[in-house]
Chain A
Amino acid sequence: MRTWEWSWPSQPGADGEDHLRPALFSGGGRWPGLHPHHVPAAAFDSLIVSLLGISLTVLFTLLLVFIIVPAVFGVSFGIRKLYMKTLLKIFAWATLRMERGAKEKNHQLYKPYTNGIIAKDPTSLEEEIKEIRRSGSSKALDNTPEFELSDIFYFCRKGMETIMDDEVTKRFSAEELESWNLLSRTNYNFQYISLRLTVLWGLGVLIRYCLLLPLRIALAFTGISLLVVGTTMVGYLPNGRFKEFLSKHVHLMCYRICVRALTAIITYHDRKNRPRNGGICVANHTSPIDVIILASDGYYAMVGQVHGGLMGVIQRAMVKACPHVWFERSEVKDRHLVARRLTEHVQDKSKLPILIFPEGTCINNTSVMMFKKGSFEIGATVYPVAIKYDPQFGDAFWNSSKYGMVTYLLRMMTSWAIVCSVWYLPPMTRQAEEDAVQFANRVKSAIARQGGLVDLLWDGGLKREKVKDTFKEEQQKLYSKMIVGNHEDRSRS
């Protein structure tokens, strides 16, 4: 078995073969006794190598100075904001070009109407049926409504409307954009793109995939490994104020690096309302990045299921430094167990505020779906947070039925940037006369209102399951009450 030797490569080995040249891994051209016919090749190799070496060094210096060091100390040079402004100018230009292109061909471009394609009638079931019957034949002299053939109109039309355009399914596909952000993944075909725009788009692809992507991957790698290593090391310290202090800063630092790894430009509003110990922080959920965004500005205890693989490693490391609440897969189904552990956590005032996403699944950031009442039953102070992403720079919504986690992260890292706003809302507590569901709805409306999202009654879990029967009954009860109630009146009289 041949051992690996860093021997001078010019001597052929005893068996007549050349050893593998280590020239690729060190500066070339400085070895004595080089065989004559290797010289030009070696010179070329050495040129490539030195170029590579220089560019890598430059890259890493840039990384360190402009990105990691500020992240460690929590300061910002404002580079990302400048980047965002430049991008906006470019997008506006691209839009104008497309408009011009379309006008030349005398076509018209359409802005996809994000609020739906049909005008839904706001009249209620009762009003409408009365109206139909009123315009009915003269035989309906008495005003007691009874079943008539016409009643089917209302349901028929409503059915058609939902088939044409339904609120819920729309929320689950990426919000349709109003301007083109030079990403080919916005859904429409290219008809009005001139040569200039194509060149720009090509340049964009080059920049995103060859410059930004490796940079971001390097940063992400740094951030995650620092997190794992840092928290493990902090875990060895004895419990006390010093450990807490270090733990907080290790967490914050690593999340900040991750934020920069995604080029996330975040604006925090009302930071005075940030969650405190013993509280629960609830936010609307659009993507797994939400966690990174919130955790880079505050120190939270995470709640979640134990995963395998890389996530599992991170989770285990994190819990050494400070108490996060991780559940085994089997425990997740047991609602009482979950509730009990969360209650224990919030009652201990020295423990951190819990971060929870009550929608239970990722929604496409145009609306807020039903909050699961579990976290609202615990009885702690709730700190609502609204997160709204600006889709112009990159769509952050994770459509879990379409993309896996890795594909999703790659998409995120090859977008221009992730721009979002975070609003910390004033804390809320459950009032005496409300139950958990009403409290959850109140919090939900507050979040929806602040973030400019539509407040929907629908259950986010509908993406995967079917409608619960209780909802079905409501509509039918209303209708039948109208008919039967009056029928009984009639037969009595």
Chain B
Amino acid sequence: MGAAHSASEEVRELEGKTGFSSDQIEQLHRRFKQLSGDQPTIRKENFNNVPDLELNPIRSKIVRAFFDNRNLRKGSSGLADEINFEDFLTIMSYFRPIDTTMDEEQVQLCRKEKLRFLFHMYDSDSGGRITLEEYRNVVEELLSGNPHIEKESARSIADGAMMEAASVCVGQMEPDQVYEGITFDDFLKIWQGIDIETKMHVRFLNMETIALCH
């Protein structure tokens, strides 16, 4: 079965690139096909078929993250129109659990990658900084859909939080100093010492190895 051989080569290649195991890749491939309707690529509209996702207030940011060129490692800005399975896996790999067998350096690298993913989610204009506007935008989205929250209160929450973030990054500011925005290094500083690994990963269940159905 020639097709089977080349398929497993591809799987091995993907294993190396993304770090998923072959059965995880197969499961995700099935999921990919389900989302894309058996097409080779996914577009933004395909995510409308996931009803649970509608509940999520930052749904549009999450979907956008899939097409963000920075996350796909295809550029420093802009959005792709459609993604193939390899891109899908690349994005998913940001949420892989940290392997206990990794050494300290690799763990730090993983952490940085995960935080960078989050940073890109905030920094929607790819400016390299999270400005006050972008921050407000995120808070508004998180609080959106609730008719009892006024835009004003959402803004003031965002402003307050931004101030706190600034104080961590820059220390005490002069009264006329303008805070440009949170850079990625500042972002990392905020999260120093905080264990985000357990919160930024999705755990795959163990596949049992009983015969069948193949």
Cβ of B166 within 8 Å of any chain A Cβ, yes or no, is no
Contact B4 A189 (CB under 8 A): yes
Cβ of B175 within 8 Å of any chain A Cβ, yes or no, is no
- Point out the residues of chain B lying under 8 angstroms from A153, CB to CB: 118, 196, 199-200
Question: Measured between C-beta atoms, what is the minimum distance from A416 to chain B in Å?
Answer: 16
- Point out the residues of chain A lying under 8 angstroms from B173, CB to CB: none
With A147-B161, A157-B199, A191-B4: A476-B54 Cβ-Cβ less than 8 Å: no
B-contacting residues, A460-482, CB 8 Å = 462, 466-467, 469, 471-477, 479-480
- Point out the residues of chain B lying under 8 angstroms from A115, CB to CB: 205
Contact B56 A110 (CB under 8 A): no
B-contacting residues, A196-219, CB 8 Å = none
Contact B202 A476 (CB under 8 A): no
Q: Among A149, A180, A466, A477, which residue has its beta carbon within 8 angstroms of that of B54?
A: A466
CA distance A269 to B105 in the complex (A): 62
Cβ of B95 within 8 Å of any chain A Cβ, yes or no, is yes
With A166-B53, A168-B51, A176-B213: A157-B1 Cβ-Cβ less than 8 Å: no
Q: Dominant SS at the B interface?
A: helix
Contact B95 A476 (CB under 8 A): no
A-contacting residues, B31-65, CB 8 Å = 31, 34-35, 47-59, 62
- Point out the residues of chain A lying under 8 angstroms from B95, CB to CB: 157, 160
CA distance A139 to B143 in the complex (A): 24
B-contacting residues, A135-188, CB 8 Å = 135-137, 139, 146-169, 173, 176-180, 186, 188
Nearest neighbor of B26 in chain A, beta-carbon distance: A110
CA distance A489 to B175 in the complex (A): 27
Cβ of B14 within 8 Å of any chain A Cβ, yes or no, is no
CA distance A413 to B35 in the complex (A): 30
Interface size grouping (class) on chain B: 35 or more
A-contacting residues, B189-214, CB 8 Å = 190, 193-196, 199-205, 207-214
Cβ of A484 within 8 Å of any chain B Cβ, yes or no, is yes
Q: Among A95, A466, A473, which residue has its beta carbon within 8 angstroms of that of B212?
A: A95
Question: Measured between C-beta atoms, what is the minimum distance from A118 to chain B in Å?
Answer: 5
CA distance A304 to B153 in the complex (A): 51
Contact A110 B207 (CB under 8 A): yes
Nearest neighbor of A462 in chain B, beta-carbon distance: B51
Contact B213 A476 (CB under 8 A): no
CA distance A474 to B35 in the complex (A): 26
Nearest neighbor of B95 in chain A, beta-carbon distance: A160
Q: Among A99, A132, A146, A158, which residue has its beta carbon within 8 angstroms of that of B160?
A: A146
Q: Among B138, B165, B194, B208, which residue has its beta carbon within 8 angstroms of that of A152?
A: B138
Q: Which among B34, B54, B147 has the greatest number of chain A C-beta atoms within 10 A?
A: B54
- Point out the residues of chain A lying under 8 angstroms from B52, CB to CB: 162, 166-168
Contact A473 B160 (CB under 8 A): no
With A112-B213, A157-B200, A162-B53: A476-B205 Cβ-Cβ less than 8 Å: no
Contact B161 A149 (CB under 8 A): yes
Contact A477 B213 (CB under 8 A): no
Cβ of B100 within 8 Å of any chain A Cβ, yes or no, is no
Contact with B along A89-117 (1 / 0, CB 8 A): 00000011011001000001111110111
Nearest neighbor of B208 in chain A, beta-carbon distance: A111
With A146-B161, A156-B200, A157-B202: A473-B62 Cβ-Cβ less than 8 Å: no
- Point out the residues of chain A lying under 8 angstroms from B203, CB to CB: 118-119
Contact A479 B214 (CB under 8 A): no
Q: Among B139, B196, B205, B208, which residue has its beta carbon within 8 angstroms of that of A117?
A: B205
Q: Among B1, B27, B34, B209, which residue has its beta carbon within 8 angstroms of that of A108?
A: B209
Question: Measured between C-beta atoms, what is the minimum distance from A447 to chain B in Å?
Answer: 22
Question: Measured between C-beta atoms, what is the minimum distance from A483 to chain B in Å?
Answer: 6
CA distance A148 to B187 in the complex (A): 12
Contact B164 A139 (CB under 8 A): yes
Question: Measured between C-beta atoms, what is the minimum distance from B204 to chain A in Å?
Answer: 6
Cβ of B146 within 8 Å of any chain A Cβ, yes or no, is yes
Question: Measured between C-beta atoms, what is the minimum distance from A436 to chain B in Å?
Answer: 23
CA distance A22 to B210 in the complex (A): 61
Cβ of A271 within 8 Å of any chain B Cβ, yes or no, is no
Cβ contacts A to B, 20 pairs, < 8 Å = A109-B210, A110-B212, A115-B205, A118-B202, A119-B203, A135-B194, A139-B164, A149-B161, A152-B121, A156-B118, A157-B202, A160-B92, A160-B202, A164-B28, A166-B51, A178-B213, A180-B212, A467-B55, A474-B55, A480-B148
Which A-B residue pairs are the 3 nearest by beta carbons?
A: A99-B211, A162-B52, A467-B54
Binding site for A on B (CB under 8 A): 1, 4, 23-24, 26-28, 31, 34-35, 47-59, 62, 92, 95, 118, 121-122, 138-139, 142-149, 153, 156-158, 160-161, 164-165, 167-168, 187, 190, 193-196, 199-205, 207-214
